[in-house]
Amino acid sequence: MLPPTPDPLLRFRDEFPILATTNYMVSNSLGAMPRAVSERLADYAREWATSGVRAWAQGWWDLPIRVGDEIAPLLGAKPGETVMVPNVSIAQAQVLSALEFVPGEKDTIVMTEMDFPSVKYVTSQLGERFGARVVVVPSEDGVSVDEERLLAAIDERTALVSVSHVLFRSAYIVDVARVSRRAHEFGALVCLDAYHSVGVVPVDVEVLGVDFLTGGVLKWLCGGPGGSFLWVRPEVSERLAPAVTGWQAHSHPFAFDPDMSFAAGASRWLTGTPVIPALFAAAVGPRIVREAGMDAIRAKSERQTARLVTLADGRGFPVTAPRDGRRRGGTVAFDVPHAREVAQALLSRDVIVDYRPGAGIRVAPHFYSSDDEVESVVGNIDEILAQETWKRYTLQQSIVT
Ligand SMILES: Cc1ncc(COP(=O)(O)O)c(C=O)c1O
């Protein structure tokens, strides 16, 4: 028999300290911190301590655009088109605040039951405040988006189609290009929440045909909290005036002009003072992901998630993740008996996964995960069930991961 082929992506393991002490299978929630983030945060503190207010002119002011340029290649976007924002909820609010809804004519936002709650809340709260009608397409199975129903919901009245690329509940990959084609046939714009794809599933705004894309570095990009991004198609961007705005979006921010005059390019999507420490941390992970290469990351993810599905099937654990690898993102959720307690027992063994009611245990290997670690998650579950050690956790509160 041939010896197993070495996995070239494992060369990045040393960059992530937590991999030395845990089996880290939770990159769908919080990606592992790259070692170099400590130095970048120390740089931030040093610049503040030594430059004081001069730090703004020495690079802090432009940071949301410069970090956006580090993300852009992972979106298939060009430099100067992506801006960093504090979170996706704000990015989605900015998009909605820039649109016109004409009652009875072009007033409808189409989304799906499977979108992330925060996006749903912002869309219903702000959309309805701005006079939009929000149509939510239900999911037949609680796993996928019924794409025929979604397409059928898009018509002349649709102003915006707001969908997820990879569903957070099941890792189902939506055929976004098809949705965009239909939306554009009816003159509607498309806003994509790509939080669960960028960094683990290749993303190209041209292939997907979207007009807005939101996401964050927190999960698959290993960039920590506070680093979310908004990309807007330049031709669309230049004709929009977001009402959720701020002085950084002004063409002459230091003129303190009483009237708004939007800056050119991605800067028009800035708001107020950026979250500088988060931006210092944010770019390290995306750089490593770019170096690892999205095609290699995706091929490995498809292989390891397929293995997890096989291991779960072999034990009769119901699997939520799509079986077709081309339609499956980076996470495999499966239910096991006493799943909440089993997840706690896994954490106590330094096997870091998360548990969600209705989905079960979610396992998310990433490019730095070894095949042995993938096997070991299920091996540990076997032991916890056979030895009944899950019983120790019946009264404990679940830990949010
Ligand atoms: C699909 C999706 N969108 C958005 C978010 C988070 O949004 P925010 O940055 O507003 O916290 C998450 C977080 O888990 C998510 O899974």
**pLDDT tens-digit map of 109-167:** 999 999 999 999 999 999 999 999 999 999 999 899 999 999 999 999 999 999 999 99
What's the pLDDT score for residue 401? 41
- Binned at pLDDT 50, 70 and 90, residue 394 comes out as confident
* 396 pLDDT higher than 80: no
Compute CA distances 20 → 103, 247, 320, 373, whole Å.
57, 44, 30, 12
Which residues pair with residue 215 across a beta bridge?
A: 229
Mention every residue, 6+ apart, whose C-beta is less than 8 A from residue 124. 134
Query: In the predicted model, is pLDDT for residue 201 greater than 80?
Result: yes
pLDDT value of residue 357 = 87
Cβ–Cβ under 8 Å, residues 127 and 109: yes
Is the confidence at residue 54, as pLDDT, over 50?
yes
CB 136 within 8 A of CB 111: yes
Q: Is the CB of 94 under 6 A from ligand 1?
A: no
Look at residue 1 in the predicted model and tell me its pLDDT. 61
Q: How far is the CA of 61 from the centre of ligand 1 (A)?
A: 26
Phi-psi region at 169: left, alpha or beta (left = phi > 0; alpha = psi -120 to 50):
alpha
Asked if residue 341 has its Cβ within 6 Å of ligand 1, the reply is: no
> 400 or 337, which is more confident?
337
Task: Spell out the domains of the chain, with CATH numbers in brackets.
Answer: 8-28+293-393 (3.90.1150.10), 38-289 (3.40.640.10)
Mean pLDDT of the chain: 96
Pocket test for ligand 1, best of 28, 29, 115, 116 (most atoms within 8 A of CB): 116
What is each CA distance from 336 to 147, 330, 357, in whole angstroms? 29, 19, 12
- Written in H, E and C, the secondary structure of 106-131 is ECEEEEECCCCHHHHHHHHHHHHHCC
Tell me how far the alpha carbon of residue 287 lies from the centroid of ligand 1, in angstroms.
21
CA distance 250 to 253: 5
Who's near 189: CB < 8 A, 6+ residues apart? 99, 159, 160, 161, 183, 211, 212, 236
170 in contact with ligand 1, CB cutoff 6 A: no
pTM attached to this predicted model: 0.96
What distance in angstroms lies between residue 148's CA and the mean position of ligand 1's atoms?
25
Please name the amino acid found at residue 360. G
- Rounded average pLDDT over 206-222: 98
Encode pLDDT of 156-191 as tens digits.
999 999 999 999 999 999 999 999 999 999 999 999
Q: Closest Cα to residue 271, out of 132, 109, 97?
A: 97
CA distances from 299 to 66, 127, 157, 225, 326 (A): 29, 38, 40, 27, 10
214 CB within 6 A, ligand 1:
no
Residue 395 CB: number of other CB atoms within 10 A?
7
Q: Which atom of ligand 1 is nearest to the CA of 91?
A: 10
Cα separation, 381 vs 25, in Å, equals: 14
216 alpha carbon – ligand 1 mean position (Å)? 8
* Cβ(169) – ligand 1 distance below 6 Å: no
Among the listed residues 236, 230, 162, the one whose alpha carbon sits nearest the alpha carbon of residue 198: 230
Retrieve residue 3's tokens.
Answer: 């010896």
Instruction: Report the nearest atom of ligand 1 relative to the CA of 167.
Output: 1
Whether the Cβ atoms of residue 87 and residue 93 lie closer than 8 Å to each other: no
Spatial CB neighbours of 232, under 8 Å, sequence gap ≥ 6: 81, 95, 211, 212, 240, 266, 269
Distance 79 CA to ligand 1 centre (A): 24
**Does the Cβ of 228 fall within 6 Å of ligand 1?**
yes
Instruction: Please compute the mean of the pLDDT values over residues 288-314 and round it to a whole number.
Output: 98
The answer to whether the CB of 172 is under 6 A from ligand 1 is no
Q: What is the pLDDT of residues 229-252, one digit of tens each?
A: 999 999 999 999 999 999 999 999
The pLDDT assigned to 6 comes to 86
Query: What is the Å distance from ligand 1's center to 326 Cα?
Result: 23
Ligand 1 geometric centre to CA of 195 (Å): 6
